[in-house]
Structure 1
């Protein structure tokens, strides 16, 4: 019956309940106070009546607020979050109008708007599909061409950060760590040799040949530094000695928006899009960070709002102890799988290098970070990266009263986790990264465009999870 009433009439009924209920409580209290006068005194009767009236009105107000919150406020909050998800995160499914059934025509109207938006998006996508296909073909041709040339190519912006690398370059860089867009080139090569070559290049304005020494000092490569018109340079390395399998994937990884990026300034003032994110997850021997151990680390990188293909870690870790069967049933990591794998000290150092210069992102970050902090002395590192938690981001965008599990978030954002990858470190890290990619434009649409603005909002939900920054 209530679903047939207009929203204005329902809200009017709430006020009627407050007014009528308050009057009824006051009259009842006065009558009971009057009856008490005959047994005690007039003053005692008045105090008794006033006390009953106050507590009765407070109880009525709390009850009406709970009704209003459950049937009006929460549904409006959920509906607005769903509309933003469809408007800014590209979610393409029907609006859930069941929870908003008491909001009159608001839910059907929202559904109609999102449907119209989806149709517009589809027509726009159809218009650009041909151009996208052409660009993809050109990229494939360029990648194939670079693959045939026995050199590794790395494009570096004026700030010394990697903007592009090809498959051969990825193999060269892997000698010092996983190749990463937007990472400092000095993370992979000796700074002194790079600086000397760059000074010569700027002085002459011409290509400079030099020996590029690996950051660890154990490897060196014949290299050439070529100046670029917009600043920065192209680093060309003789990669003929790099052994690549004929069938190995050799992608061209790039983001030319990084050419104009100028790092610097406080992290709080940095736009969300200008940050690099390392999204990770761990699997462990149990749920107690003070006594259990890591058995698997999975991580991916997000740069300029997109997951970078190939930039990932999927590392099994030997915990140095048997894995309980109950834990194996969850993540399917067995003792045989971790035998001979790196211990947490080595795996932690690798992950620390992978996450250098980025914001660390996790779902329920306090749990995963507790394991890393416990063993930081063995790793010989400090975990001082800024941290974002997708649980808190979900609370900011969808309301604290919603469910914020990874499965619930993926369902809300139309993200599918393959069943065989759920509860694996890399599978959950990829799912969390996809969640982050959807949430970033939603945060920006809400006016939270810098890291500091997002941090201020997440700290308001500290009762859900501890803020680690």
Structure 2
């Protein structure tokens, strides 16, 4: 039980035990002394002595505990967080030796270890960079080859989850909903024709022609379903005339082949962090009062398999329906003129809701942003029942509740640069929050928090910082 508590809490309980022990010992000593004197007239004097001794012991122990907490417990917590950031998040800034000056040889030893770790990490990073450059070149060649093929392609897993799509397929899917890796094709296309074609493909092992209909019944597509040989899943190719594809259009690829064998089932609490999809979002508003102010911008990005998917993001201006105060415009640079003709919160909220389907919603100070969305849930005709992670609470779990947990402070600790022109824009803040999340996920795993439920349980120990929305 005690091992689940933080170091500072355990030290606090230790000093509480010392206080109880000191009071018990002094009480027993005075009681024995009073019995030996056997003079009832001295009872009040012994009681007064015990009260004075009790207050003295408690005051002394509190003073020692505060000194110990500030000079030993907090520095140890901070030192361990810095080491973990270097080991698992690629941070390479100098250790804060001043904060750990009372820890004797522990701080220099930790700094030496961190320096050696940074050297090894640099060598690994160089090797990874070289391999990444090679893969990027391969991807460029693949993209160039695909450009010569005037079709839109979607690679799907055996469970009909999207594993890869190109730029033209993104245009096809976007006619229905925002394209997303690991989303089910059944969110875009009616299931019966798709399943019938896949059953025929599975039995024959040959290419199958099929006619598919959008989920809302407004679009019809002529497509071909091709097998992948011995690999699971299939390739879905849309006919160019049906999809209105321009052959000369660019074909950026969005893919994650690890999703091909993904078969994640069960409650969110039991799922491993590495198996979850995250949608990291932020809002800009007319003010700081969720019960009366309105959203003017929504930005969101998706994180799949621990990486930010560059092609999957939202950047929506929202018409708040009320004037935007000049003080707010100075912060986020959004004026009344910019939001004229923009979608209202009902439309923008539904877009974000679809974008975050089957994903964990992540935000920095999530109760603030979620309060705006939940207030308009009826207008959007959606339920905001997604599981939620708050990067403020994740920061408290990893770096200790006593540290600052603003977005700027978190980015400083994780060596994330916030471009000045993107700060206080919804998409800019969402991107840097996503970068922080990506760096914190392996740190959480190293702490033994490998499932979503374990992380939520850890964040609830810091519930006093923010409201728990799960």
**The two structures share one fold, judged by TM-score above 0.5:** yes
Question: Hey, what's the Cα distance between the residues in 1 that align with 2:190 and 2:455?
Answer: 36
Aligned-residue RMSD, C-alpha: 2.5
The range that moved more, 446-455 or 219-228, is 219-228
Question: Hey, what's the Cα distance between the residues in 2 that align with 1:245 and 1:330?
Answer: 41
Question: Hey, what's the Cα distance between the residues in 1 that align with 2:286 and 2:245?
Answer: 36
Deviation at 1:62, TM superposition (A): 0.6
SS in 2 for 1:350: helix
Question: What residue is the counterpart of 1:325 in the other structure?
Answer: 326
TM-score (norm 1): 0.90
The range that moved more, 151-160 or 122-131, is 122-131
SS in 2 for 1:146: helix
Question: Hey, what's the Cα distance between the residues in 2 that align with 1:153 and 1:325?
Answer: 47
Deviation at 1:131, TM superposition (A): 3.2
State how many pairs are aligned. Answer: 443
Question: Hey, what's the Cα distance between the residues in 2 that align with 1:129 and 1:230?
Answer: 29
Question: What residue is the counterpart of 1:196 in the other structure?
Answer: 196
Q: After superposition, where does 1:363-402 map in structure 2 within 5 Å?
A: 363-402=364-403
The range that moved more, 119-128 or 282-291, is 119-128
Q: After superposition, where does 1:144-155 map in structure 2 within 5 Å?
A: 144-155=144-155
Q: After superposition, where does 1:222-233 map in structure 2 within 5 Å?
A: 222-228=222-228, 229-233=230-234
Q: Please give the per-residue CA displacement for 1:111-156, whole angstroms capped at 9, x wherever unaligned.
A: 1111111111212233444433222111100011112211111111
SS in 2 for 1:384: coil
Question: Hey, what's the Cα distance between the residues in 1 that align with 2:449 and 2:240?
Answer: 44
Question: Hey, what's the Cα distance between the residues in 2 that align with 1:211 and 1:200?
Answer: 13
The answer to whether the Cα contact below 8 Å between 2:147 and 2:250 also exists between their aligned partners in 1 is no
Question: What residue is the counterpart of 1:425 in the other structure?
Answer: 426
Deviation at 1:247, TM superposition (A): 9.1
Question: What residue is the counterpart of 2:344 in the other structure?
Answer: 343
Question: What residue is the counterpart of 2:44 in the other structure?
Answer: 44
Question: What residue is the counterpart of 1:307 in the other structure?
Answer: 308
Question: What residue is the counterpart of 1:56 in the other structure?
Answer: 56
Question: What residue is the counterpart of 2:270 in the other structure?
Answer: 269
SS in 2 for 1:312: strand
Q: Please give the per-residue CA displacement for 1:13-56, whole angstroms capped at 9, x wherever unaligned.
A: xx9xx99xx89xx8xxx9xxx9xxxxx94222111111000011
Question: Hey, what's the Cα distance between the residues in 1 that align with 2:130 and 2:432?
Answer: 29
Question: What residue is the counterpart of 1:219 in the other structure?
Answer: 219
The range that moved more, 40-49 or 238-247, is 238-247
Question: Hey, what's the Cα distance between the residues in 1 that align with 2:109 and 2:169?
Answer: 53
Q: Say if 1:222 and 1:241 are closer, same or farther in 2 by CA, change over 3 A.
A: closer
Q: Say if 1:142 and 1:381 are closer, same or farther in 2 by CA, change over 3 A.
A: same
Question: Hey, what's the Cα distance between the residues in 1 that align with 2:382 and 2:256?
Answer: 30
Q: Please give the per-residue CA displacement for 1:39-98, whole angstroms capped at 9, x wherever unaligned.
A: x94222111111000011001101100000000000000010010001011112111112
Question: What residue is the counterpart of 2:175 in the other structure?
Answer: 175
Question: Hey, what's the Cα distance between the residues in 2 that align with 1:147 and 1:187?
Answer: 27
Q: Please give the per-residue CA displacement for 1:255-295, whole angstroms capped at 9, x wherever unaligned.
A: 11111110211211111010000000011111111111110
Question: Hey, what's the Cα distance between the residues in 1 that align with 2:277 and 2:301?
Answer: 11
Question: Hey, what's the Cα distance between the residues in 1 that align with 2:162 and 2:245?
Answer: 22
Q: 5+ unaligned residues in a row in structure 2: which ranges?
A: 1-10, 35-39
Moved over 6 A (4+): 243-248
Q: 5+ unaligned residues in a row in structure 1: which ranges?
A: 1-10, 35-39
The range that moved more, 331-340 or 457-466, is 457-466
Question: Hey, what's the Cα distance between the residues in 2 that align with 1:82 and 1:246?
Answer: 51
Q: Please give the per-residue CA displacement for 1:202-241, whole angstroms capped at 9, x wherever unaligned.
A: 2322111111222222122221111232321111112357
The answer to whether the Cα contact below 8 Å between 1:150 and 1:240 also exists between their aligned partners in 2 is no
Question: What residue is the counterpart of 2:161 in the other structure?
Answer: 161
Question: What residue is the counterpart of 1:253 in the other structure?
Answer: 254
Q: Please give the per-residue CA displacement for 1:443-467, whole angstroms capped at 9, x wherever unaligned.
A: 0000011111111111111111111
